[in-house]
Amino acid sequence: MLYDFELFRGSIVATIVMIFRRLFSSDVPKKEPIIAAQTIAADLSAEAEATAAEEAASQNAGRKSPWRFLKYGTVAALTGATAGAGYVTYAYSTEEIVEKTKPLRESLNYSVGDDAPAVEKYRAMLYNAAMTVPSKAIELYLDLRTLVEEQVKGFTEPTDEKLLPDLHPAEQHVFTLVLDLKETLLYSDWKRDRGWRTFKRPGVDAFLEHMAKFYEIVVYSDELSMYVDPVCDKLDGENHYIRYRLSRGATKYQDGKHYRDLSKLNRDPAKILYVSGRAFESSLQPENCVPIKPYKLETEDTALLDLIPFLEYVARNSPADIRTVLSSYERKDIAKEFLERSKDYQRSGNYKASGCKNKGSKVASGDGKDRVM
């Protein structure tokens, strides 16, 4: 009995001690269960927000899909129209497009009579409404293309339809000798120690002086006028052998190159000779070309002087069409070929001083046929 009482009293004391320890203890109880609860609540809140954001995004996507389709459709239509316009510009000229689209553009004015049924009037109204956009688009394209071509023409075509003034009536019989500058009358060279220098071709002074007695001399170059004018001033001086100077602005720009268009010289094509070291590569009229060896600073060069006999012979005999004469040489070295033909003609025993003018044309042509001169 006593033992039981002592055991009960000890348990009560132990309980009281434990209570006092908890009440007066300085240790802060851990709040791990509370933190865990907050974490769980935060996770649940984040999931709810993410779900709400996904639902809102899906709703916005559903709303924007028609506008997105319209945007991409418009971009695709513009891209197709641009590609089509580019192909048409490349494949057809403006005149061809005007002719091919004429029925479409005229169909915009489709109408029916006043006494036509209401259905026909309604159909005509719908047809005109449907054709308004393509017809106006074609007209806009033609206007823009015409404007652009006019602007481009100013850079690709010669500055004038008549590059030279009218020939004096008393000189209608005179032939026009067109001369290139580069590698024909002179040569330009650049070196690091001295920069650019221009060298005259051997015999150029004598050539110009002699040819000015028989020809109207024109310099026609693809260089800029700021180069051509001072060079011609030094080359010609106060002699005025060169009547006219034409520079890059008088050339035709085609396929990335500047060509001499002899048809714009306002001269009879049958009386034009074009002398150049790159004659066939730089002229649009190869039938008027007199090729000459390009000058590359050779000290023994005599190409200009060798050409004088042929040019003088042509000027004295005045062939009806110089193009026929030049075609008989078949793009050979005309100076050498003319010399050989002259020797052959003299050896044949047919040359007579009294018949020089009539026989001379046959010498130049090399075949003795009247069709040449």
pTM for this prediction: 0.61
DSSP label at residue 88: H
* Bridge partner residues of 257 (DSSP): 254
Per-residue model confidence (pLDDT) at position 61: 55
Confidence of residue 62 (pLDDT cuts 50, 70, 90): low
Q: Which H/E stretch holds residue 100?
A: helix 94-100
Q: How many angstroms separate the CA atoms of 373 and 356, rounded?
A: 13
The per-residue b/e assignment along 326-346, b for 16 or more CB within 10 angstroms, e otherwise, is: bebbeeebbbebbeebbeebe
Q: Identity (one letter) of the amino acid at 339?
A: L
Per-residue model confidence (pLDDT) at position 371: 34
Instruction: Specify which of 91-100, 335-344, 359-368 reaches the highest per-range mean pLDDT.
Output: 335-344
Return the half-sphere exposure (C-beta side, CA atoms, 13 A cut-off) of residue 18. 6
The pLDDT tens digits of the residues spanning 280-296 come to: 999 999 999 999 999 99
Which string of DSSP letters, residue by residue, matches 39-64? HHHHHHHHHHHHHHHHHHHHHHHHHH
Q: How many angstroms separate the CA atoms of 363 and 348, rounded?
A: 11
User: What's the whole-number mean pLDDT along residues 313-333?
Assistant: 93
> Three-state SS for 253?
strand
Among 10-14, 137-141, 268-272, 313-317, the range scoring the smallest mean pLDDT is 10-14
Question: Mean of the per-residue pLDDT values for the chain?
Answer: 78
Per-residue model confidence (pLDDT) at position 296: 92
Is residue 297 a contact partner of residue 199, using CB atoms and an 8 Å limit? yes
* Residue 288 burial class via C-beta count within 10 angstroms: exposed 0-12, middle 13-18, buried 19 and up: buried
Instruction: Specify which of 1-5, 116-120, 159-163, 348-352 reaches the highest per-range mean pLDDT.
Output: 159-163
Per-residue model confidence (pLDDT) at position 130: 66
Place of tokens 């048409």: 88
Q: How many angstroms separate the CA atoms of 309 and 339, rounded?
A: 8
Contacts of 50 (CB under 8 A, 6+ apart): none
The pLDDT tens digits of the residues spanning 338-348 come to: 999 988 888 87
DSSP label at residue 283: B
User: What's the whole-number mean pLDDT along residues 127-134?
Assistant: 68
Pick the more confident residue, 41 or 355. Answer: 41
Confidence of residue 51 (pLDDT cuts 50, 70, 90): confident
Tokens of 17: 């001690």
**Among 222, 221, 185, 225, which residue's Cα sits nearest to residue 307?**
185
Confidence of residue 24 (pLDDT cuts 50, 70, 90): low
Q: Is 198 left (phi over 0), alpha (psi -120 to 50) or beta?
A: beta
Per-residue model confidence (pLDDT) at position 151: 62
Q: How many angstroms separate the CA atoms of 314 and 360, rounded?
A: 9
Confidence of residue 123 (pLDDT cuts 50, 70, 90): confident
The pLDDT tens digits of the residues spanning 225-278 come to: 999 999 999 999 888 999 999 999 999 998 889 999 999 999 999 999 999 999
The per-residue b/e assignment along 44-66, b for 16 or more CB within 10 angstroms, e otherwise, is: eeeeeeeeeeeeeeeeeeeeeee
| Percent of the residues in the chain that have a pLDDT greater than 90, as a whole number | 41
DSSP label at residue 182: B
Q: Above 70 in pLDDT, residue 302? A: yes
Is residue 189 a contact partner of residue 201, using CB atoms and an 8 Å limit? no
